Amino acid sequence: MTRMKPVDVVLVGFGWTGAIIGMELVDTGLKILALERGAYRDTSPDFTYPHNADELAYGIRGELFQPLARETVTIRHNLNETAVPYRQYGSFLLGNNVGGAGIHWNGQHYRPSPEDLEFHSHISKRYGQKFMPEDMQIQDYGVTYDELEPFLDQFEYLCGTSGRAGNLNGEIKDGGNPFEGVRKREYPNPPVADNYGAKLFADAARSKGYKPFPQPSSNASRPYTNPHGVRLGPCNLCGYCERFGCFMYSKASPQTTILPVLMRKPNFELRTNSHVIKINLDSSGKRATGVTYIDAQGQQVEQPADLVIVSAFQMHNVRLMLMSGIGAPYDPKTGKGVIGKNYAYQMMSNVNVFFDKDVAINPFIGAGSGGNQIIDEFNSDHFDHGPHGFVGGGYILGGQTGGRPIQQLLVPPGTPAWGEKWKRAAKDSYLHTTGVQSHGSVMAYRDRYLDLDPTYKDAFGLPLLRITFDWHDNEYKMTQFLTDRAQEIADAMKPRQTSQTIRKPGGHYDVRQYQTTHTTGGVIQGTSPETSALNRFQQNWDVHNVFVTGASAFPQNLGYNPTGLIGGLTYMSVKAIRETYLKNPGPLVQA
């Protein structure tokens, strides 16, 4: 096995969090190496117009996604089933190459509500411990909103997020989200202009007494130069956002916000086609000595490093920790162990809204996030859950992200799936349809977790990650409640017709239907090594020179898109590394 020259810091995976950590540490002068299993990708020549606007290549065939034929995950609904591999993209989309999922996200850029971060404490205090089902094991992050605020802000100013503050230094502002935590300053950019579907939604929501606001969006509403001096272009609402790279330099990604500066630093190195398979430990098992990866030629390479940052996608982080033997694997029978614990997801529902021809909506004018309107009345603990008997919630969105021909062409219920009648319905509906969507949380449960599959292996002969997951009653109640509210608003839009997609009790988690790529947990952060894998700085409790970033740290899933919180937690973690850990390497929190 080849042994490379030691580096100070190795980043495993070069997406959002890897790029943030690299950038925040590069001025220390330390030698930083990013190992990325995919290839290099950038706006030009990879996402240029018109090639990027190819729905078949990117939307259906998943040009930007990890090839599942080489590595996937296996999925089962409960402990008694045999898991089978996820062989085609459906439920969630795994990013690939430099930038990772930060390339193909929509730019929906939220902050958590303050109570989301102390969720267990908050719910038990307000409703009592018994309000939660017995097998629900939600926890606190070990971080408060006030502590995190500067870092959430830092990430928004990196991305050039477009939005309107709803709570500026405690003052509730018209037109923003009145339920959000205190924001110390306005968004860096004003909101993207509403699409027409969003306007109809907002008017209807206001008529029901709600307070709609523009979806916070990392699709820049105007050219923007971030604190690193990197400039983003303006979003032109082309409708090719989720599943696509952005040709306008407008959607925030590592490429459009960090790489133009980081890639030029002499003490930073990126090695692509380098697939890390193990974090190596010294004989005590308490200190990492580096990582082992497989290079483009299929050779194993040892890379010594003083500090290991596990910054791959949530599922890959969990798998790498399990394969490296760091931390005790979670046992669903006893509830003990931490790696793989508290896997969670999100639960969506849709109300499609069909108008007559007198309401003209150009659905192709759309952005991944910019231009849509939101209500947040039913998210987090913004309302009294007491009478409703469930924990969690979500936001309700109105508008559309595009009018792509294959995946975004809606027809009214009752239309045949093909043939002349379908064609006529598609033609009649295309310019007169929009949507209302609920985006709901999923709590953590004792029997929902991740481990290594006993049967299936990847192209290298290494075990796949196994997901054991299905919906619980709490989430069915949550989605019914949210969807009823969404339907009421949709009806207030006075459409000709609506159709609903909702998950109901008796069903199962169906991996064929796309919902979100917001999978969370497995290497969670918290307040005690008994119940979490990481401390509040995302440092492993057992091996102090291993930090694990990303949504794998979420103790349960919230009703917002995760990227804003991921960025904030990463900035908080790297500040602790830079200012405290590097001066005196050791545990940042005493167990």
Catalytically active residues, by annotation = 518
The half-sphere exposure of 116 on its side-chain side, counting CA atoms within 13 A, is: 27
For residue 410, give every residue at least 6 positions away whose Cβ sits within 8 Å of its Cβ, in sequence order, or none: 352, 354, 429, 433, 435
Nearest-angstrom CA–CA distance, 216 and 370: 7
Please tell me whether residue 452 binds other proteins under the rule CB under 8 A: no
Which range in 198-206, 225-233, 519-527, 579-587 contacts other proteins by CB under 8 A?
225-233
Nearest-angstrom CA–CA distance, 181 and 184: 10
**Interface residue with other proteins, options 238, 307, 534, 576 (CB under 8 A):** 238
Please tell me whether residue 169 binds other proteins under the rule CB under 8 A: no
Which range in 156-164, 204-212, 263-271, 379-387 contacts other proteins by CB under 8 A?
263-271
In the chain, the amino acid numbered 138 is: I
Number of residues that bind other proteins (CB under 8 A): 48
Nearest-angstrom CA–CA distance, 151 and 551: 16
DSSP H helices, 76-168, are: 101-104, 114-117, 119-127, 145-159
Instruction: Quote the tokens at residue 76.
Output: 């089962």
Please tell me whether residue 44 binds other proteins under the rule CB under 8 A: yes
Instruction: Please report the beta strands in 220-362, taking only residues with DSSP state E, as ranges in sequence order.
Output: 224-225, 231-232, 268-271, 275-281, 288-294, 300-310, 341-344, 347-354
Please tell me whether residue 506 binds other proteins under the rule CB under 8 A: no
For the chain, the first-to-last Cα distance in angstroms comes to 37
Which range in 37-45, 177-185, 411-419, 527-535 contacts other proteins by CB under 8 A?
37-45
**Interface residue with other proteins, options 6, 260, 335, 585 (CB under 8 A):** 260
Q: Nearer to other proteins by C-beta: 290 or 394?
A: 290
Q: Nearer to other proteins by C-beta: 43 or 106?
A: 43
Angle at 124 between CA 118 and CA 127, to 5 degrees: 125
Shortest Å distance, C-beta 61 to other proteins: 10
**Interface residue with other proteins, options 168, 277, 431, 492 (CB under 8 A):** 277
Q: Nearer to other proteins by C-beta: 296 or 591?
A: 296
Please tell me whether residue 70 binds other proteins under the rule CB under 8 A: yes
The half-sphere exposure of 508 on its side-chain side, counting CA atoms within 13 A, is: 9
Residue 260: helix, strand or coil by DSSP? helix
Nearest-angstrom CA–CA distance, 97 and 66: 8
**Interface residue with other proteins, options 170, 229, 419, 506 (CB under 8 A):** 229
Among left, alpha and beta (phi > 0; psi -120 to 50; other), residue 209 is left
Instruction: Quote the tokens at residue 199.
Output: 């306007």
Which range in 146-154, 162-170, 296-304, 542-550 contacts other proteins by CB under 8 A?
296-304
Please tell me whether residue 367 binds other proteins under the rule CB under 8 A: no
For residue 567, give every residue at least 6 positions away whose Cβ sits within 8 Å of its Cβ, in sequence order, or none: 16, 17, 20, 151, 152, 154, 155, 158, 159
Hey, which residues between 456 and 485 contact other proteins (CB under 8 A)? 459-462
Shortest Å distance, C-beta 497 to other proteins: 31
Please tell me whether residue 89 binds other proteins under the rule CB under 8 A: no
Please tell me whether residue 45 binds other proteins under the rule CB under 8 A: yes
Q: Nearer to other proteins by C-beta: 360 or 417?
A: 360
Nearest-angstrom CA–CA distance, 563 and 547: 18
Shortest Å distance, C-beta 514 to other proteins: 21
Which range in 178-186, 298-306, 344-352, 553-561 contacts other proteins by CB under 8 A?
298-306
In the chain, the amino acid numbered 216 is: P
- Which residues sit at the interface with other proteins, rule CB under 8 A? 39-40, 42-45, 48-50, 63, 67, 69-70, 222-223, 225, 228-234, 236, 238, 247-249, 256, 259-261, 263-264, 270, 272-273, 277, 294, 296-300, 459-462
